[in-house]
A and B are shown apart, each in its own frame.
Chain A
């Protein structure tokens, strides 16, 4: 059974950098059949796709966040990570990692999700 688990600080100060890691178990992050992505959900609001990575290192970003976001993968640890710089209160959200289906000519839906990690931006 595939499982994803987010980890990282729950509190980040304004203007600083948010860093989260997703550890994948029960499956290989190096599978050619999947991407791996990050999605966030501000309290009481909807879902927003942040970024996606392929095990080979191909990266894709939401244009609205692209200037502040970096996604990376460590296949040796079966992990992928998110870095969001210059955070503000508007970045307070539950951040979830998820497995995303790989297609050659379109994006893919998310089928397995982590439980999510609440990150609060506050001084």
Chain B
């Protein structure tokens, strides 16, 4: 099983500042990495797939980078509506054995 580890567990950032979230895989997942945003009481929303491709309708302030075992989600200028828990997902296995990170809770200062 590929274990995905996200850091930090909680991140507190002021509006307008940059937020950097990390996700590490226990073995290489190539670029088969997605990021999701989950607001309270809502289903997860796809932000990034292929490690760096923004999903349809996702604002440009969200960007993803990395490959192999180290990945980053950057929110360039934090807005109040970005308060959420962010999860990474690796989908590199065949047959499928998808694993999520444990999440990073993003708080607004």
Chain A residues with CB under 8 Å of chain B are 35, 37, 46-49, 52, 60, 62-63, 96, 101, 105-111, 113-116
**CB-CB < 8 A to B43: which residues of A?**
96, 113-116
For A114, list chain B residues within 8 Å (CB): 43
Task: Spell out B's residues near A (CB within 8 Å).
Answer: 1, 32, 34, 42-46, 49, 55, 87, 89, 91-103
Instruction: Give the contacting residue for B46; candidates A46, A109, A115; CB below 8 A.
Output: A109
For the residues of B in contact with A, the DSSP-based class is loop
Determine whether the beta carbon of A109 is less than 8 Å from that of B89.
Answer: yes
Contact across chains for A109 and B100 when beta carbons are under 8 A apart: no
A63–B94 CA distance with the chains assembled, in angstroms: 13
Shortest Cβ gap from A90 to chain B (Å): 17
A sample of 6 inter-chain contacts (CB < 8 A) reads A107-B92, A107-B93, A108-B96, A110-B34, A111-B55, A116-B43
Contact at A48–B96, with CB atoms within 8 Å?
A: no
Q: Which residues of B contact A37 (CB under 8 A)?
A: 98
Residues of B with C-beta under 8 A to A110:
34, 44, 46, 89
